[in-house]
Structures are given as C-alpha cells and as structure tokens.
C-alpha cells in the first residue's frame, strides 16, 4: 500500500511540474509574440536553471537572443539545440544566419568522403532517434528469427535468416550511433568564444607566447583542460590555450 501511495504521489508531482512548465513556456511564447524578447529570454533561462533542457527550449532561446542582436548567445543556444536534435533544418538555418556576424572566417580542413559521410549519417538523428531505430530493427530481427526457427517453408526460413542477419547489423549500427550521439551530449567537447576578442596563447598562462587572435561567436573544440585554461583546436587545425572565462561549452 505504501508503495502504491509513493507511486501516486510521484505521478501527481510529475503532472504538477509538467503543468507548471507548460504554463511558464506559454508565458515565454506570449512575451516573444509581443516583441518582449528580453522577458522571453529571461523566462527560458529560468526554465533552464530549473533543470529543463530540450532542443526546442534552446531553439527558442536562440531566437530571443538573435532578435536582441546578441549573436554570440544566439549561436551558443542554436548549437545546443542542434546537439540535442542535429537533424533540425530550421535551427541549422537560423544558426547560419547568426554566424554571418562572426568576424573570423575559418577555412575547414578537407576530409575524406567516407569521413564526411559517416559524420553526416551519425548526426542525422538524435540519440533518442537512433535508439528508437535500434528498437525497431531489433523487433524485426526477432520476427525474422521466429520465421527461421518455426516456419516449415524452406523459402521462408532462408528469407528469415538472410533478412535477420542484415537487420541485426542494422541494429548494431543504430545502437552504435545512439551511443556516439549520447557521448557527444555528455562530453560537450565543443564551445563558443564569448569574449569579444581573445589572444590564443602557446602555453596555459598569461606569459605564454601570443599565437593568433580570435573573436566571439567562433566555435572551437576543447582538446585539453589544465587549471583555468583550455587547449582549443580550430576547424583549420590551429591550436592554443585560452582562459576558461573566454568561452562557454555548448
């Protein structure tokens, strides 16, 4: 009886939280529709501080900052939205619009076709999306296995075996991509420069050699962490050290 009461209590609390979040989101949407982008951004940031995280929340927050002319924050939140839902075309388009204001135009290092194809496939769906596909493939695999073991028809047995093997490898592939996407979300190895201009150092201290200058809005990869410094790598392969206060993880 106590367990049932605890479950019911948890359900009621969950429903209350969902209702409160829905009401808060409606307030943000209303503020945005009225052109009060600062208020809408404050509401979305409060939702995020309360533990909410979704691609839609980051997308809406990015739109607020873009309307306010804060392109760096817009880029940061569009990138966060794409991290959770990499296949969203509207978010990608808005990100490209915000990136037009970036000072640094970095030339990306060329990659092999297979590498580009792999990355494109891996990021075509979110971690949840790949997980759903893996479950679907596995169900088909079980059906094919049942046909192979229980059917009396030789043709059906052969079909079940061949299709089952193919679908099994598809299942493994979907599980692999789901784990890769989940790893990207947990590690968050990319960041956005948030300081107007940053001098990248050759060593993790202020006395290090000045290597090159970068500006806010630029996306970088975090390679290493040491004290209050990050070793970053640009899309063109250049590396160096910047203070942690000069960037924010996606």
Domain residue spans of the chain: 2-99, 113-187, 190-249
Residue in 128, 134, 223, 117 with CA at minimum distance from that of residue 182: 128
pLDDT tens digits for range 13-71: 444 444 445 678 888 889 998 999 999 999 999 999 988 899 999 999 999 999 999 99
Q: What is the mean pLDDT of residues 159-171?
A: 96
pLDDT of residue 15: 41
Q: Which range, of 8-17, 75-84, 103-112, 200-209, averages the lowest pLDDT?
A: 8-17
CATH architecture of 190-249: Roll (2.30)
pLDDT of residue 1: 54
Ramachandran area for residue 217 (φ above 0: left; ψ -120 to 50: alpha; else beta): left
The three-point CA angle 86-186-62 to 5° equals 45
pLDDT tens digits for range 192-217: 999 999 999 999 999 989 999 999 99
Average pLDDT score, the chain: 89
pLDDT tens digits for range 114-151: 888 888 888 888 889 999 999 999 999 999 999 999 99
pLDDT of residue 8: 39
- Burial letters 144-175, b for 16+ CB under 10 A, else e: beebbeeeeeeeeeeebeebbeebbebbebbb
pLDDT of residue 111: 76
Query: What predicted TM-score, i.e. pTM, was given to this entire model?
Result: 0.81
pLDDT of residue 51: 87
Same fold, 2-99 and 190-249: no
Distance CA(74)–CA(62), nearest Å, equals 4
Q: At what angle do helices 55-67 and 37-49 cross, to 10 degrees?
A: 150
Question: 106 pLDDT band (50/70/90 cuts)?
Answer: confident
Residue 4 has pLDDT above 70, yes or no: no
Tokens standing for residue 102 = 């970036």
2-99 belongs to which CATH class? mainly alpha
pLDDT of residue 22: 61
Half-sphere CA count of 54, side-chain side, radius 13 A: 9
């Amino acid at each position: 009886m106590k367990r049932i009461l605890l479950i019911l209590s948890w359900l009621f609390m969950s429903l209350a939280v969902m209702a409160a979040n829905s009401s808060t989101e409606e307030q943000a949407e209303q503020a945005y529709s009225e052109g009060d982008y600062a208020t809408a951004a404050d509401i979305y940031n409060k939702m995020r501080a309360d533990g909410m995280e979704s691609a839609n929340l980051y997308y809406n927050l990015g739109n607020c900052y873009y309307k306010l002319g804060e392109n760096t924050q817009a880029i940061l939140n569009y990138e966060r939205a794409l991290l959770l839902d990499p296949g969203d075309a509207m978010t990608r388009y808005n990100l490209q619009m915000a990136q037009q204001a970036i000072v640094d135009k970095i030339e990306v290092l060329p990659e092999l076709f297979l590498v580009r194809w792999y990355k494109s496939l891996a990021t075509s769906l979110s971690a949840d999306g790949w997980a759903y596909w893996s479950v679907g493939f596995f169900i088909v695999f079980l059906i094919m296995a049942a046909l192979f073991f229980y059917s009396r028809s030789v043709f059906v047995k052969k079909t079940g075996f061949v299709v089952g093997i193919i679908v099994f490898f598809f299942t493994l592939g979907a599980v692999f991509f789901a784990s890769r996407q989940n790893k990207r979300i947990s590690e968050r190895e990319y960041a956005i420069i948030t300081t107007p201009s940053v001098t990248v150092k050759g060593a993790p201290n202020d006395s290090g050699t000045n290597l090159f200058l970068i500006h806010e809005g630029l996306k970088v990869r975090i390679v290493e962490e040491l004290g209050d410094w990050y070793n970053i790598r640009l899309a063109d392969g250049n590396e160096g050290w910047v203070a942690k206060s000069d960037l924010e993880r996606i």
